[in-house]
Amino acid sequence: MIENYFIAGTDSCVGKTYVTCALLRSLCEQGINVMGFKPVACGDRTEARDIRNAVGQPTYKLESINPIYLRTLAEPIMAAEMERKPIEKSSIVQAYEQLTAVHSTVLVDGCGPWETPLAPGFSMADVAAEFGLPVILVVNNRPGAAGLSKLTIEAIQKRGLVCKGIILNHIGEEWSTASVTNSRVISELTGVPVIAELIHGQDYIDAVEILS
């Protein structure tokens, strides 16, 4: 049985939703009743639409997948303040519980880096801690990735959560020595296995194999 997972990233624009959608497509192909969950989105709902398309349900209510949507492209805490729509943990938890009631597996796609602020004293890390899910960390496979991975994993562990694996996502087309060697360096530095590497443009991943 595939667990629910929290998909985190070392930074913004590392490909969390891209990886989440690849995992969702793979799980759907295996006949698993899966859904993605994007608790908070700012600017637009492209990522929520990508999630519902990945599971082959283009008419699924966006509000169910993405309960907190802010039009302002900024840190969620500022977007919420500017739009006078405070982000409340209870709304996120309720939406998550509604999804888990009808889907056997839910992949939670985090917003921004691990400690992205959502409200005063409340961050995306608090959401992950509330759910208590094992974490998959998405890392942009570039120079500097090892240090960012170590810092993020330490922060995850301080929350009492387990980082089950790292997925290296090669966003750029060009390769560097760091891109080739990051898998070994990060695994040895953090003690967390690299469970998959996506080359540039790769949109398929064997989710059952790496998440089981």
CATH of the domain at 148: 3.40.50.300
Query: Quick check: 201 pLDDT over 90?
Result: no
| 175 — pLDDT class (breaks 50, 70, 90) | confident
Query: Quick check: 1 pLDDT over 70?
Result: no
Helix 145-158 to helix 177-190 angle (10° resolution) is: 30
Q: Residues 124-147, buried b or exposed e (16+ Cβ, 10 A)?
A: bbbbbbebebbbbbbbbbbeebbe
Q: Residue 167: in which H helix or E strand, if any?
A: strand 163-169
Domain count, the chain: 1
| 134 — pLDDT class (breaks 50, 70, 90) | very high
| 10 — pLDDT class (breaks 50, 70, 90) | very high
pLDDT score recorded for residue 208 = 87
Query: Quick check: 155 pLDDT over 70?
Result: yes
| 2 — pLDDT class (breaks 50, 70, 90) | confident
Query: Quick check: 174 pLDDT over 90?
Result: no
Chain centroid offset of residue 198 CA: 15
pTM summary value: 0.96
> Of residues 38, 61, 158, 164, which has the active-site annotation?
38
> pLDDT tens digits, residue range 24-81?
999 999 999 999 999 999 999 999 999 999 999 999 999 999 999 999 999 999 999 9
Task: Give me 107's structure tokens.
Answer: 């992949």
Q: Which domain range does residue 117 map to?
A: 5-211
> Average pLDDT, whole number, for the chain?
96
47 close to 17: Cβ distance less than 8 angstroms: yes
Q: Verify whether residue 16 is a known catalytic residue.
A: no
Cα–Cα nearest to 137, from 190, 212, 98 = 190
pLDDT score recorded for residue 212 = 78
